[in-house]
Amino acid sequence: MKKTWTNCWLEYPLIQDQPDVTITVASEWDGVIINRAYHELKRGLESLYHCQVTQAVVTTADIRFLKDPGLSAEGYTINAKKDSCTISAGDEKGILYGSFALLRQLQIAQCPLHELTWQETKVPSNPLRLMIHWDNLPGDIERGYAGDSLFFKNNHILVNERSIDYARLAASAGFNGLVINNSNVAGAAIELISDRFYAPLSRLQEIFHQYGLKLFIAVDFTMPMLMGDLETADPTDPDVQSWWQRKAKEVWENLPGLGGFMVKADSEGRPGPYAYGKNHADGANMLADAVAPYGGLILWRCFVYDCQQDWRDTVTDRAKAGYDHYMPLDGCFRDNVVLEIKNGPMDFQVREPVSPLIGGLAKTQMLLEVQITQEYTGQQRHVCYLLPWFRQILDQDMCCWEGPSKVSDLIQGKRCGKPLGGISAIANTGNDPNWTGHDLAAANFYGIGRLAFDISLSPETIAREWIRLTYGDQPKVEEVLFDILMNSWPVYEKYNAPLGIGWMCNPGFHYGPNPNGYEYSRWGTYHRADHQALGIDRTTAGTGYTAQYAPNLQKLYEDVETCPEEMILFFHRLPYSYMLKTGKNILQHIYDTHFEGAEQAAQFLSRIEGLAGLLPDDVYARMHERFTLQKENAEEWRDVVNTFFYRMTGIPDEHGRTIYP
């Protein structure tokens, strides 16, 4: 297949021309992953220096892979001392991660290998670092904004050179697993775990394995009915249990080393244990028992709410659903079950508080689920670098016990004392030439992998790294792209839904301004705006949502004076005249931020135009097109949202700007 796609951050732009230099690499031990590490170093170094890279004996090599049983799984130590460089690890994966780290550092330092003096030891912060694909077997992607699936086409599995490049990108960012199919399992996907697909799946799995990536498959809870001839999927039914046990045996015989299954149950029309009067622990544990003999995991999604719920009363609140469903089950799950929890209580809005379930569960392993496919954050037409947001989420202290209780601690299992947990990202990749639609969206793919591997990283460090690796050492490019990336989420938020309200986009598609657009809003608008006030009272006097947080956080959110203002309308219903700490009332805040956001989006475009000639032509053309669209769309958001509130209140902008276009 002719290569029609980019290498993203594995481009390895030239640092110094050294055609006469030969760099030798040797390893103390063999293995398929070690072999990949060697080939990655060879590819990277030859591109960075135009040198030769060959294999040698351990004692004389320039770069040596050493075994260090003292290092934890997947960890590495690099010791570069000008004329010698060692990468030590306890397992093969550590050598692979160490090799990518060395290539990264050379590009940061912009020096030849024999001038590098550098020491680094890293052990991944999170045992699970997963990309979650919502790819469908026909080849489309649910909420995909970068082309078609990399894994499926016309109900067949694709195994090709691009699968290898995908694995390279994922491993180099730090991921160690992926779910390849949509958890809304439908059509041919129901047969993914059958003879029809085992052979190509096994070939795909072999590629992933060489890059240290575990394959996971999303399954439907009613498989015994859909694939088998059972009339029930009741998790307590012995026939159902033995159906899954037989199936698991068959699956692992065909796909040894498979990571496990992901399940979305009792959610948005998906079947689950509730249909049989059973709970989610009954469902997850039944599956967990079936896969346990093979070391399999069950990733159980917690996105459970009644989307048709009537919430005109004051206590029914979708935000409460996750906690209400799962808290009573804390401690009831098997050790090979991990609960996968969206970062917020709603659904990947541009701003939400952290899900109270994350602070609630004390005895259960958790996987934080974030969304890098930009469903609600501009759909990869707009730039929205999400790492500053993810940093805030991970740093949020849930104040839920006397030990370390930041989200980053809790997902690492510091509270429950169990070994599994981590970060999963709903993937933003597809078969577009640049993988992610918007060229700058690749920073989210790279960034969340890096952050999952090393939870201490700042969004700034990651952004600079990504720019440097992708576009080389070009100060002007770095200055402009860094600035745009770092401002992109705040700017997007400004022209979108204000102060934590959420949605205000077209139903279904979730793109474009529509203040009353929440699809499940037949019982009232999401923001509840009328001519006097807006927002939802989620205090204990309102829906009672704040009571799901530990006392300190509850107090913080409950009191309108201390509630973080960027989320004030998520927690409180307030009059338009309510004065924010900026000295502006809410209405004027909405007007001002929408004018500012649209202006800043326009500035992004002119700054990108300043990079003409510095970026590759195709990259520049794509970026120019997307930033032009973002500018136009931001103006539309500004006008639609401002007009909505102007009509609602009849109060004009204090500065006399035109509101009704």
- Binding residues for ligand GCV, rule: CB under 6 A, are 134, 142-143, 182-184, 264, 268, 303, 347, 375
**In whole angstroms, how close is the CB of 508 to ligand GCV at the nearest point?**
9
Cβ atoms within 10 Å, residue 33: 20
Question: Residue 224 or residue 322: which is nearer to ligand GCV going by CB?
Answer: 322
**In whole angstroms, how close is the CB of 298 to ligand GCV at the nearest point?**
16
Decide: helix, strand or coil at residue 172: helix
β-pair type (533-534, 152-153) = unpaired
Instruction: Yes or no: say if 270 and 184 are a contact pair by the CB < 8 Å rule.
Output: yes
Question: Residue 63 or residue 179: which is nearer to ligand GCV going by CB?
Answer: 179
Instruction: Yes or no: say if 253 and 247 are a contact pair by the CB < 8 Å rule.
Output: no
Question: Residue 179 or residue 462: which is nearer to ligand GCV going by CB?
Answer: 179
Dihedral sign computed on CA atoms, order 202, 208, 213, 219: negative
CA–CA distance, 341 with 355 (Å, rounded to integer): 8
Question: Residue 182 or residue 222: which is nearer to ligand GCV going by CB?
Answer: 182
**DSSP string of 47-110, one letter each residue:** HHHS-EEEE--TTT-SEEEEE-TTSPTT-EEEEEETTEEEEEESSHHHHHHHHHHHHHHHHHHT
Tokens 């919430």: give the residue.
311
**In whole angstroms, how close is the CB of 388 to ligand GCV at the nearest point?**
22
Question: Residue 34 or residue 180: which is nearer to ligand GCV going by CB?
Answer: 180
**In whole angstroms, how close is the CB of 322 to ligand GCV at the nearest point?**
12
CA–CA distance, 22 with 7 (Å, rounded to integer): 24
Token pair for residue 576?
Answer: 């338009």
**In whole angstroms, how close is the CB of 303 to ligand GCV at the nearest point?**
5
Q: What is the 3-state secondary structure (H, E, C) of 432-485?
A: CCCCCCCHHHHHHHHHHHHHHHCCCCCHHHHHHHHHHHHHCCCHHHHHHHHHHH
**In whole angstroms, how close is the CB of 182 to ligand GCV at the nearest point?**
6
Question: Residue 122 or residue 143: which is nearer to ligand GCV going by CB?
Answer: 143
Which of 272-300 are b and which e, b meaning 16 or more Cβ less than 10 Å from the residue's Cβ? bbbebebbbbbbbbbbbbbbbebebbbbb
Measure the N-to-C terminal CA separation of the chain; round to a whole number of Å: 50
Please list, in sequence order, all residues whose beta carbon lies within 8 angstroms of the beta carbon of residue 294, skipping any fewer than 6 positions away.
248, 249, 251, 252, 256, 258
**In whole angstroms, how close is the CB of 369 to ligand GCV at the nearest point?**
8
Please report, to the nearest 10 degrees, the dihedral formed by the alpha carbons of residues 347, 350, 352, 358 taken in order: 60
Question: Residue 187 or residue 295: which is nearer to ligand GCV going by CB?
Answer: 187
Token pair for residue 457?
Answer: 């990283």
Bridge-partner residues for 53, per DSSP?
23
**In whole angstroms, how close is the CB of 154 to ligand GCV at the nearest point?**
21
206 burial type by CB count under 10 A (0-12 exposed, 13-18 middle, 19+ buried): middle
Instruction: Yes or no: say if 103 and 44 are a contact pair by the CB < 8 Å rule.
Output: yes
Question: Residue 182 or residue 202: which is nearer to ligand GCV going by CB?
Answer: 182
**In whole angstroms, how close is the CB of 296 to ligand GCV at the nearest point?**
21
CA–CA distance, 179 with 141 (Å, rounded to integer): 13
Instruction: Yes or no: say if 37 and 96 are a contact pair by the CB < 8 Å rule.
Output: yes
**In whole angstroms, how close is the CB of 143 to ligand GCV at the nearest point?**
5
Question: Residue 206 or residue 347: which is nearer to ligand GCV going by CB?
Answer: 347
Please list, in sequence order, all residues whose beta carbon lies within 8 angstroms of the beta carbon of residue 392, skipping any fewer than 6 positions away.
none
Residues tagged active-site: 268, 347, 375
Please list, in sequence order, all residues whose beta carbon lies within 8 angstroms of the beta carbon of residue 402, skipping any fewer than 6 positions away.
none
Token pair for residue 361?
Answer: 């569960």
Question: Residue 348 or residue 571: which is nearer to ligand GCV going by CB?
Answer: 348
Dihedral sign computed on CA atoms, order 174, 177, 181, 185: negative
Question: Residue 134 or residue 591: which is nearer to ligand GCV going by CB?
Answer: 134
